Amino acid sequence: MCGIVGAVAQRNVQGILLEGLKRLEYRGYDSAGLAVLGRDGRLSRRRALGKVAALEARLAEFPLAGHSGIAHTRWATHGRPSEENAHPHQSGDRLAVVHNGIIENHEILRGELEAAGYGFASETDTEVIAHLIEREAREGDLLQAVRRVLARLDGAYALGVIHADEPDVVIGARKGSPLVVGVGIEEAFLASDPLALLQVTDRFIYLEEGDVVRLSPGGRVEVLDAAGTAVERPVQTFEHGDGAASKGDYRHFMLKEIHEQPAVIAAALEGRLGERSVLVESFGPDAEALFARVKQIHLVACGTSYHAGMVARYWLERYAGVPVQVEVASEYRYRRVVVPEDTLFVTLSQSGETADTLAALRFAKELGYLGSLAICNVPGSSLVRESDLTLMTQAGPEIGVASTKAFTTQLVALTLLTLALGRVRGQDADEQATLVEALRRLPGQVARVLALDPAIEALSAAFAEKYHALFLGRGAHFPVALEGALKLKEISYIHAEAYPAGELKHGPLALVDGEMPVIAVAPNDELLEKLKSNLQEVRARGGELFVFADEQVALADGEGVRVLRLPHVEDALAPILYTVPLQLLAYHVAVLKGTDVDQPRNLAKSVTVE
Ligand code: G6P
């Protein structure tokens, strides 16, 4: 998704902006650009189609110099990926704008501007913003000009604006798309994500919806809220450190993040477990009273987070006795939802900025829920700020577009929610104590699964030449199979589908032959025998089977059957453990195929548009 960087500094900002763009590459994009203002008020811009490296090469040949500037990575929405459509967009040679989001009324505005004599150089919705601000700024005061224009925009945006008449100023604004201010020493910065600025500061102001900000020399930061009133927003220190944004010794961020799972799962549990039960207080002081009233849960999310929600439904119904409905946010928000009395609304999101999930939360607030809980990985994100209760997943920054550690820590957070609800609703104390004990063992078991990496890598060769793959699971492992299929298609571009194994004979069996590898998730649970029969159905049709099974299960390698054994784990936690080999399998297949593992084509880390 588009990324914004801006700076007003004591030095040439080109390097800061370029480094910021590199750090935002993980969000997914197709072109990049940068504009700076010289002290003499001269506006200069460079843009390039493709990777930030292409922009960097252009800047090496034609460098820019200026103490204020804005930069952008674009993920095409209006208009194809091209240099003309890349940001910053200019109006004349004095004003430049970068924009993340979608302006819904851009056609009407474009018509109005064309009638007034403005020419358009791109197909983007953003260019209307540039011309509108240029027109308003003729009356002086860039910040007020921006505010007048914002009042005319329908849709979502984060903006960065520079103007030759105010050469040491950058204006930022946000509504519906994230934007933070980096507070430096006598310098100030703007970015879509704190990670973009960790090389220059670890202190951030998280702008609120409707805020407009002026950065000016000496590190001056002035924030106006949606009503135009000057406000002080708190400065928060970013706690994850900059190390999280580097690959270390790993070839890809995704591999590093897969291997971080034992540590981050331990972090997600820290301070949340008592001796024999979960600490309900870790959800906040109001949690206990609220949880005692919960009769139903509606769980809403997108992508990988949605799969976490699907797993949680099995847990919440089995251990807490609470009926759960799970839905993708983009469907939920447009449905006439009936909310039974005392229903808790839960959102799941690694980024906390997914447009559909955020819109679902805002929609839900009008529907009479008991309250809202966000399970999220990014402190200070919009979802966290707008929810009644929050549970942070503590995975640290995740850079690979394909979510791995964010997913498994979401599952951990969801087991904690299950136990917290179970506890206030009278779950058997011994059952709770067994699960708490199993949670404590989980990081070690995940580490044992990671040690199987070479064996999983060896399996990957069987997939690299295939066009399709089928994933099977039963019960809570059906969503795990869905997640395995999603990982494979996201990064290796192999078409993969997942089915509850019992559905095989109702359709997908027709596809099974020697060219269709079938991956089965086979923990030692009550559905194992049924799963084994489903696997026979595959073998009988010549399908090649790859089975991830419990070490205690009597399943043997044979012709067309490869079995990989995982440590035995408490039933309830098996979905977390069995996710890990599927992540590794997708990773190794993608590496063999030579795809861009951390930034797969057409995808974005955080989808901040609808
Ligand atoms: C994008 C990402 C996925 C993610 C989904 C939901 O599609 O590429 O990895 O699962 O958004 O994101 P969220 O931040 O809400 O979990």
pLDDT at 243: 60
Q: Choose among 449, 440, 446, 441: nearest CA to 270.
A: 440
Rounded Cα distance between 513 and 199, Å, is 52
Identify whether 329 is part of a domain. Answer: yes
Domain limit, last residue, from 210, 237, 264: 237
Q: Are 474 and 575 in contact (CB under 8 A)?
A: no
d(CA 9, CA 171): 14
Contacts of 249 (CB under 8 A, 6+ apart): none
Q: Is residue 603 part of a domain?
A: no
What amino acid is encoded at 272 in this protein? Answer: R
Tell me the per-residue pLDDT of 551-594, one tens digit each, with 9 for 90 and over: 888 888 888 899 999 999 988 999 999 999 999 999 999 999 99
* Residues 122 and 18 occupy one common structural domain: yes
Residues 24 and 101 placed together within one structural domain of the fold: yes
Is there a single domain that holds both residue 563 and residue 593? yes
Residue 608 lies in a domain: no
474 in the same domain as 548: yes
Indicate if 459 and 368 belong to the same structural domain. no
Q: What is the pLDDT of residues 346-366, one digit of tens each?
A: 999 999 989 999 999 999 999
What is the Cα–Cα distance from 42 to 65, expressed in whole angstroms? 10
Candidates 335, 351, 329; CA nearest to 607 is 351
Dist. CA 353 → ligand 1 center (Å)? 9
Residue 122 lies in a domain: yes
The answer to the question of residue 566 being in a domain is yes
Atom number, ligand 1, closest to the C-alpha of residue 354? 15
Rounded to whole angstroms, the Cα distance separating 221 from 487 reads: 41
**Tens digits of residue pLDDT in 129-169:** 999 999 999 998 999 999 999 999 988 899 999 999 999 99
Bridge partners for 46 per DSSP? 34
Residues 325 and 381 in one domain: yes
**What total of structural domains would you count in the chain?**
3
On whether residue 442 sits in a domain, the answer given is no
Q: Please say whether the beta carbons of 20 and 72 come within 8 A.
A: no
Could you tell which of 305, 382, 411 is best to mutate to test the pocket of ligand 1, judged by most ligand atoms within 8 Å of the CB? 305
CA dist 554 and 556 (Å) reads: 7
Q: Does residue 354's CB lie within 6 angstroms of at least one atom of ligand 1?
A: yes
* Any atom of ligand 1 within 6 Å of the Cβ of 349: yes
Ligand 1 site-directed mutation target among 307, 607, 610, most atoms within 8 Å of CB: 607
Ligand 1 site-directed mutation target among 354, 375, 486, most atoms within 8 Å of CB = 354
CATH code assigned at 461: 3.40.50.10490
Q: Is 535 in the pocket of ligand 1 (CB under 6 A)?
A: no
Residue 347: CB within 6 Å of ligand 1? Answer: no
Give the pLDDT of residue 496.
97
Distance CA 358, CA 301 (A): 9
- Per-residue H/E/C for 464-498: HCCCEEEEEECCCHHHHHHHHHHHHHHHHCCEEEE
Tell whether ligand 1 has an atom less than 6 A from the beta carbon of residue 445. Answer: no
Same domain, 403 and 502: no
Residues 53 and 200 in one domain: yes
Catalytic residue, chosen from 2, 22, 376, 487, is: 2
Q: Which strand (E) or helix (H) includes residue 186?
A: none
Residue 304, in any domain of the structure: yes
pLDDT, tens only, 397-408: 898 999 999 999
Please give the residue range of the domain that contains residue 191: 3-237
Instruction: For strands 155-163 and 95-103, give the pairing.
Output: antiparallel
Domain boundary pick from 177, 210, 237: 237
pLDDT beyond 80 at 285: no
Query: Residue 140 CB: number of other CB atoms within 10 A?
Result: 10
- Of 186, 215, 237, the residue that ends a domain is 237
The answer to whether position 487 is within a domain reads: yes
Let me know if 532 is a catalytic residue. Answer: no
Distance 285 CA to ligand 1 centre (A): 29
500 lines ligand 1 (CB under 6 A): no
pLDDT at 241 over 70: no
User: What letter represents residue 411's amino acid?
Assistant: L
- Verify that 153 and 283 share a domain, yes or no: no
Is 389 found in the same domain as 329?
yes
Specify the pLDDT at position 245.
65
Tokens describing residue 504: 């095989």
Closest CA to 188 of 208, 166, 171: 171
DSSP secondary structure string, 222-275? EEE-TTS-EEPPPPEE--S-GGGGS-TT-SSHHHHHHHTHHHHHHHHHTTTB-S
Of 51, 487, 489, 605, which is the active-site residue? 605
Kindly report, residue by residue over 74-104, the tens digit of the pLDDT: 988 788 899 999 999 999 999 999 999 888 8
Pairwise pLDDT comparison (550 vs 25), residue with the higher score = 550
Contact between 593 and 491 under an 8 Å Cβ cutoff? The reply is no
Task: Please give the distance, rounded to the nearest whole angstrom, from the Cα atom of residue 135 to the centre of ligand 1.
Answer: 38
The confidence score (pLDDT) of residue 546 equals 94
- 247 tagged catalytic: no
Whether residue 500 sits in one domain with residue 400: no
- The verdict on 390 and 472 lying in the same domain is no
Residue 415 is encoded by which pair of tokens?
Answer: 């087991």
Closest atom of ligand 1 to CA, residue 303? 10
Say what the pLDDT of residue 242 is: 61
Identify the CATH number of the domain in which residue 225 sits. Answer: 3.60.20.10
Quick check: CB of 330 below 6 Å from ligand 1?
no
The 8-class DSSP code of residue 141 comes to -
Is residue 15 within 8 Å of residue 28, measured between CB atoms? no
